[in-house]
Chains A and B, each alone.
Chain A
Amino acid sequence: MKQYKNEMDNLHWTQAGKENLINRVKANAQQEPRKGHFSIGKYVVIAAAVCLFSVTAYATGILQSASDVFAPILGGTPVQTEIIEKIGHPVGASDTSDGITITADAIIADSNHACIVYSIANADGSPFALPEGVLPEDVFFAGGKGGTELPFNIGGLNGSSWIADTDNTDGTLQYIEMLSTEKPLPAGKKVTAEFSRLSYFDTDGKAVVLSEGDWKIRYELNFEDVGVKIPVEKEFVRDGLTFTVHEISLSPIALQANYTVDAIPEWSNEESGQLPEQDQKEHFRFMDTIELFITKTDGTIIDLTNSGGGLSVEDGVTMGYKGTVLEEIVPLNEIVSITVGDVVIDVNI
């Protein structure tokens, strides 16, 4: 896709074109009537947000409605018993503000990744007032608080959150939060989830406030690790470099591959600014170029090649890892294989 990028780079406005565009926009804007939307100034989220962490005072145990709770991110597949038994359930993890109740319903996690499911419900059970053309997935928290917070030293932390519900008729929306931490999650510790200003993007992409509410939920983080580690020790050669895949960390919510390379990246050593071209090239050779796929039993391939990762050098060997939190739960018994570069690892769990 490098050629695609290069070709697309060749499509651009000229300097004169941009100047003309500015003049046309000024002229047109003066003629355009103002719309009556309430425009808010601060909000969130579309992309991977830097997440805080928190959540859950679960007692782990059997969850009869696990399929319902995780339905938005299960892709219609039933939940494995092994997963059900490891799902954590918050106890009394709920708060009501402005007639809307947010409840932390469940968490599924491995050592470094968590998927938390919340429900957002109108107290009177009525559907949320979304205009025609606006979908439940357009709803978000605009107040700068939209998830969980980890007050502990857990190193790097990132993640994302979104409304996964497609049905706005039952008065409840399901909100998913996926988190990834550098150090292990602080199991058993008390954490807090905060939310504010429930809003939606209208069909013009403008944020409109649904509720000015503030919600705060505090409880203990309890879960059972649903992950497995699969030793690999297989090699492949790419662009003159020999990659050795050592281990896969796999769970229904995350995948990470650990590997080494028999060469050292030639970094540019530039101090700041955008990633220099030389460093981009080296990242591409040592990490970005490595395909990362999950192949499911139904033939579906989940392409995670664009996942993030890291590179470090020790004793003349480059150590790399590459992986991501999945965007939907994938039961391990539905995974046939994992592909890392040219290495295909059969999964039989």
Chain B
Amino acid sequence: MNKNENLEYLVYTYADTILRFSYSYLKNLQDAQDVSQTVFVKLLIAKQNFKSKDHEKAFILRMTANVCKDILKSSWRNRTCTMEHCGEIVAPKEDDDSSILWAVNQLEDKYRCVIYLHYYEGYKAYEIGKIIGVPTPTIHTRLVRGREKLKKVLGGE
């Protein structure tokens, strides 16, 4: 696979995953689009070889998490959608308060990202710990507390 073919493979395989994970982290579609672009540029330059598809995906999610962390640490956040990028993604309504996604978005970022990795991607706590750089017991705690908080947001006890 040459460089361009590799990029196409990566985009068609992981663009949606990176978009969803970075949106879960940042709660902002435009930032998530920018994170996607940054991650693919890094991947293209890094020319990584991966042992397996699982390894490749975990590596890319880890890289995505690091880019998201950088954005959260910076004072700059992209709040507007430039005309050329609008219409590039399909997204559920962000203000639909009957949706679970809306409810998850009411939680802090530390809960949102572990909920995404666990319930959407199916990763176990120790795998999530490796991806976002947090000890496994902390992931367990975040999952339990995240679920509890989600229940409250959804009107449960």
Q: Spell out A's residues near B (CB within 8 Å).
A: 1, 3-5, 7-8, 10-14, 16-18, 20-22, 24-26, 28-29, 32, 34-35, 39, 41-48, 75, 135, 137-138, 144, 160, 162, 166, 201, 203-206, 300-303, 306, 324, 327-328
Contact = CB atoms under 8 A, between A and B. Distances in A.
A11 B19 contact: yes
A28 B23 CA distance: 22
A44 B127 CA distance: 12
A29 B99 contact: no
Contacts of B4: 26
B133 A135 contact: yes
Contacts of A17: 87-89
Contacts of A201: 62
B88 A39 contact: no
A17 B49 CA distance: 26
Which of B58, B88, B129, B141 has the most chain A CB atoms closer than 10 A to its own CB?
B88
Contacts of B45: 29, 32, 34-35
Contacts of B19: 11-13
A4 B87 contact: no
27 contacts: A4-B100, A7-B92, A7-B99, A7-B100, A8-B101, A10-B92, A11-B23, A12-B89, A13-B36, A13-B89, A24-B37, A25-B7, A25-B11, A25-B37, A25-B40, A26-B7, A42-B49, A46-B131, A162-B136, A166-B135, A205-B62, A205-B63, A205-B66, A306-B118, A306-B124, A327-B136, A327-B137
A14 B144 CA distance: 34
A3 to B, nearest CB: 5
B15 interface: yes
By DSSP majority rule, is chain B's interface helix, strand, loop, or mixed? Answer: helix
Given A11-B20, A11-B91, A48-B124, A1 B100 contact: yes
Nearest to B55: A46
B41 interface: yes
Contacts of B129: 137, 162
Contacts of A13: 15-16, 19, 36, 88-90
Contacts of A166: 135
A160 B126 contact: yes
Given A26-B44, A47-B54, 4 more contacts: A25-B44, A46-B58, A204-B63, A303-B147
Contacts of A1: 100, 119
B87 to A, nearest CB: 7
B8 to A, nearest CB: 6
A303 B144 contact: yes
Interface in B1-54: 4, 7-8, 11-12, 15-16, 19-20, 23, 36-37, 40-42, 44-49, 51, 54
A11 B90 contact: yes
Contacts of A160: 126-127
